[in-house]
Structure 1
């Protein structure tokens, strides 16, 4: 079974080449995907299956912490912005959570389009 981190890593290598060319959001996104995989493995290992064990909660909190960093990091270009939205919506599974300022996200995309990024 292929984990999402392997799939995304392959796409990112193709898109940006060497890791040294990554923007801050790309680096954070790579970390977020790795933590997502760890969270999934943790949830699968939980005896109760509902994610309320200390291990599961720690894995979830680690993902949320990186999501918050991604959300607060300015996007360099539209690719960064796409990665940001992918992270804060878990690849479109959810709407943008209310803890993130949606007006800031709107303003950011307008800024990027205006500068031709």
Structure 2
């Protein structure tokens, strides 16, 4: 039998151990991410992003439509319902960025 204070402490400690360490990106990776985000914004092309989260990585796909000093807006569309949505993300949370396959295949031809 545990006291409620001990249960809370155990839960907090377990949650702390589940946290992800933010990966550090080298200059080349930062340059690739910057280029992909710029191309999406400039040419209205779809990008797939992997974002850092405190407890899990998140993957989102959309088009960069607006940028600010430390953040950008990504317009998305739900593939099942077709409902359009948008969300703001911090540049520092992007750990990987790729142009969609359709865009890269077309630019090679």
| Coarse TM-score class (shorter-chain normalised) | under 0.3
State the TM-score, normalized to the length of structure 2: 0.25
User: Which entry has the higher C-alpha Rg, 1 or 2?
Assistant: 2
* Greater per-residue helix proportion: 1
State the TM-score, normalized to the length of structure 1: 0.24
* Greater per-residue strand proportion: 2
